[in-house]
Copies of this chain bind each other. A is one copy, B any other.
């Protein structure tokens, strides 16, 4: 019998921001950590969400013992509604995480069949060849855990997303002792969150936003609107506390905000004094000097509450002069321009707008990150002093810089390894060896239809979006095989009507000449004649217009 080993299989989030998913395999047992989604870059035209490719897990379906969720953010569990029908295995999470997941699975129609299992920090449980101990960590949402996974070759630690908040809002601290204990025992490999590996120093505590929040609400001449991520329950708690201490009531707007507040409140993880909540339909008439509104839409998502308010298109809230608007969230890369436009609109309505780039009056930040900065990352490496170190959760440059930090610390006794999605690694007594890569990648989904979109379709859309489309159409008599009439050429997104007509007339002539210049054999083989037309038209159109529209020849049998 061969020595036991552990195969590390990164399926998402190593080399990109989002869609985190990492699998571990020992013998015939696989556990998966997280199943996140990614919001697409604008280059992925018409794509709503991006998921990790789970071909590897589908091929090994019968070996997958479960999915372990570290916390409830979209980039850690958002792919489940799309993947669960292909991967119907038990899902483990903490209370708040599972509560968020239940809501999602209910909406996607998978709740009935899903097997959801509660896990708690400090309580270990077996899963196939593994034993799992969730470890309490601090982050920007509730009930976050790291995972200690005891495998046949040793203990590995997966941090999930974390920072080391010394003064968490909910007083549930980062469990330094658990990490210390495993460090003492000996850790085979540490997989650690690289999101803020470029950031020097320490990430401030969630409490750091309170002073500025308090001073802004205290000084606000009228209504205050605070926008943050709907999962940022700590932030919401701070706003509720500040409002309460200053004699203001709170209103919640936006579906995700209302849903999550309800869930967290139901679990007694968000504390709202009785009688403090103003119903949405009562917000419009409520004394603006006595009100704080919590709204979703900090990323200026189209149709979100704050985006609607900014253009005065929200049912319950209109921004008026001297309303205070606080954007208490980071700007997710890619959203800069949309957020900037939203802020412009808010200023145009004469709101007093506070945001990360330019908020501070010296009293502190309006937002703090939920991810550990360099000093915390180094501390963790020192605490765990693993044999192998693998940075996870980040674009390549963040993984690279996290690896450099670990080198600098010097307490990794074996190797520091940079892996990207699909690049597997085998750990055993004899060492760490890179193994054959597995299929990994991005699956693009149009969420309206829950369907995957193929690469070729996206490439076509990109092409279409740049220079439009030109469709030459030739009618061929199915009896005689002869072309009927003049070819037709239509276009969209190519040239405006005026300039375009002459060019398209010329294009008809080009197609006619191409057909006339082809011999009978070519005319019989439609794929040949289509390609000839495509090539000739491409040359003609590029010369006439310097453009390269997508050309789609059609032959019609009549």
Interfacial residues, chain A to chain B (CB-CB below 8 A): 15, 41-42, 45-46, 198-200, 333-334, 336-337, 340, 343-344, 347-348, 353, 357-358, 360, 395-397, 400-401, 446, 448-449, 451, 453-454, 456-458, 460-469, 471, 473, 475, 477-478, 484-485, 488, 490, 492-496, 499, 545-547, 550, 552, 554, 556-558
Contact = CB atoms under 8 A, between A and B. Distances in A.
A108 to B, nearest CB: 14
Nearest to A492: B460
A401 B358 contact: yes
Given A344-B396, A460-B493, A490-B552, A478 B485 contact: yes
A484 B558 contact: yes
Nearest to A460: B493
Contacts of A333: 336-337, 340
Given A461-B464, A496-B453, A475 B556 contact: yes
Contacts of A463: 493
B461 A465 contact: yes
B464 A493 contact: yes
A339 to B, nearest CB: 10
Contacts of A461: 464-466, 468, 493
A216 B488 CA distance: 63
Contacts of A465: 45-46, 461-462, 464-465
Given A396-B347, A460-B468, A337 B496 contact: no
A195 to B, nearest CB: 13
A485 B496 CA distance: 32
Contacts of A449: 545-547
Contacts of A467: 46
B451 A499 contact: yes
A interface secondary structure, majority: mixed
A475 B449 CA distance: 32
Contacts of A550: 492-493
Contacts of A454: 496
Which of the listed residues A347, A463, A496 has the most CB atoms from chain B within 10 Å of its own CB? A347
Contacts of A347: 396-397, 400
Given A473-B473, A496-B453, A546-B446, A488 B556 contact: yes
A198 B358 contact: yes
A348 B14 CA distance: 13
Given A397-B343, A550-B492, A473 B556 contact: yes
A556 B449 CA distance: 33
Nearest to A343: B397
Contact of A353 (B397, B451, B473): B397
A349 to B, nearest CB: 11
Given A547-B446, A556-B473, A496 B344 contact: no
A-B complex: 4 closest residue pairs judged by Cβ atoms? A465-B465, A448-B546, A198-B358, A460-B493
Given A454-B496, A469-B492, A475-B556, A348 B485 contact: no
Contacts of A462: 465
A456 B496 contact: yes
12 contacts: A333-B340, A446-B547, A448-B547, A457-B495, A458-B493, A461-B468, A461-B493, A464-B493, A475-B475, A484-B558, A485-B556, A488-B556
Contacts of A484: 475, 558
Contact of A554 (B353, B488, B496): B488
A461 to B, nearest CB: 4
Given A456-B496, A554-B488, A348 B545 contact: no
Contacts of A400: 347
A22 B348 CA distance: 21
A456 B492 CA distance: 10
A492 B464 contact: yes
Given A333-B336, A340-B395, A558-B558, A552 B46 contact: no
A471 B554 contact: yes
Contacts of A494: 457
B397 A496 contact: no
A99 to B, nearest CB: 28
A268 B198 CA distance: 40
Nearest to A357: B198
Nearest to A495: B457
B468 A464 contact: yes
A463 B458 CA distance: 13
Nearest to A553: B490
Contacts of A552: 471, 490, 492
Contacts of A464: 461, 464-465, 468-469, 492-493
A150 to B, nearest CB: 33
A345 to B, nearest CB: 8
Given A199-B358, A333-B337, A485-B557, 8 more contacts: A334-B337, A343-B397, A347-B396, A448-B546, A464-B492, A464-B493, A475-B475, A492-B552
B396 A348 contact: yes
